[in-house]
Amino acid sequence: MTADKIISIAIIDDHHLFRQGMISLLSEFKEIQIVFNAANGKEMKDKIGCNPIPEVILMDINMPIMDGYESTSWLKENYPQIKVLALSMFDEDKSIIKMLKNGAGGYLLKESKTTEVVAAIKTINDHGYFLNDLVSGRLLRNIQDNKSSQNILADLSANEIKFLQLCCSEDTYKEIADQMNLSPHTIDNYRQNLFQKFEIKSRTGLVLFALKNELFVL
């Protein structure tokens, strides 16, 4: 991306002060152009047809009327070219996993520095996804190089692949162990082995890995 590339964005968040604060902070960056903002998904739907189509949307998760999950699914169906960067107050696996499954290309904590937000916007605009400290450069390179799932997963056992698929559910690790008729200790070993093998640091990272390699059907 060239230095003078301007990225159009929209900010969807039900907290007025946070939304205005983001607008104020991001307006200081010449490479960012905010085309509209909205308090929820319904308002976003009303505004998106009356404004320039944003390239990236910063999407809050918990909103009244139409939340981030429904809004992201709607965008994926109607405006698949728009990249969605989920905004979260907390690093919660279930919420982030659901947003990724609904079409978000990454997530960012609301407490992030403005420079981190801008970097995330640029990354997701360029690549369609944003990988933070949950996953490493190794996974990023695999995705960027468009390596096939077969190549990436060639050295995984059938049980490890099944474990990855089940990680995309909302089941706990103990419930996954029960479904696979394995001990929690064995499941812990699978998790740690995959963390180490692909330099992933959390369950959300495992889910993003599974999503990128099409290991389950949405």
Taking only the tens place, the pLDDT of each residue in 59-91 is: 998 899 999 899 999 999 999 899 999 888 766
Q: Is the pLDDT of residue 95 over 50?
A: yes
pLDDT tier, 9 (very low <50, low <70, confident <90, very high otherwise): very high
Residue 166 lies in a domain: yes
Name the E strands within the chain: 7-12, 32-38, 56-60, 83-88, 106-109
Give, in order, the Cα–Cα distances in Å from 216 to each of 115, 149, 209, 211, 213.
34, 12, 11, 7, 9
Q: Give yes or no: residues 126 and 159 share one domain.
A: no
The per-residue pLDDT for 218 is: 43
Which phi and psi angles does 184 have, rounded to 5°? -55, -35
Residue 156 lies in a domain: yes
Q: Report pTM.
A: 0.67
Q: Is the pLDDT of residue 140 over 60?
A: no
Q: Give yes or no: residues 54 and 92 share one domain.
A: yes
The per-residue pLDDT for 207 is: 78
Q: Is the pLDDT of residue 204 over 80?
A: no
CATH number at residue 100: 3.40.50.2300
Q: Give the domain range for residue 92.
A: 7-130
Q: Give yes or no: residues 126 and 201 share one domain.
A: no
Which among 33, 24, 70, 66 has a CA at the least distance from the CA of 51?
Answer: 33
* pLDDT, tens digit (0-9, with 9 covering 90-100), for 176-192: 999 999 999 999 999 99
Weakest-pLDDT range from 15-29, 108-122, 136-150: 136-150
Average pLDDT, the chain: 81
Q: Is the pLDDT of residue 10 over 90?
A: yes
Q: Cα separation of 197 and 27, whole Å?
A: 41
Weakest-pLDDT range from 26-40, 127-141, 165-179: 127-141
Residue 126 lies in a domain: yes
Residue 2 lies in a domain: no
Q: Cα separation of 121 and 125, whole Å?
A: 6
Name the E strands within 5-145: 7-12, 32-38, 56-60, 83-88, 106-109
Instruction: Say how many domains are in the chain.
Output: 2
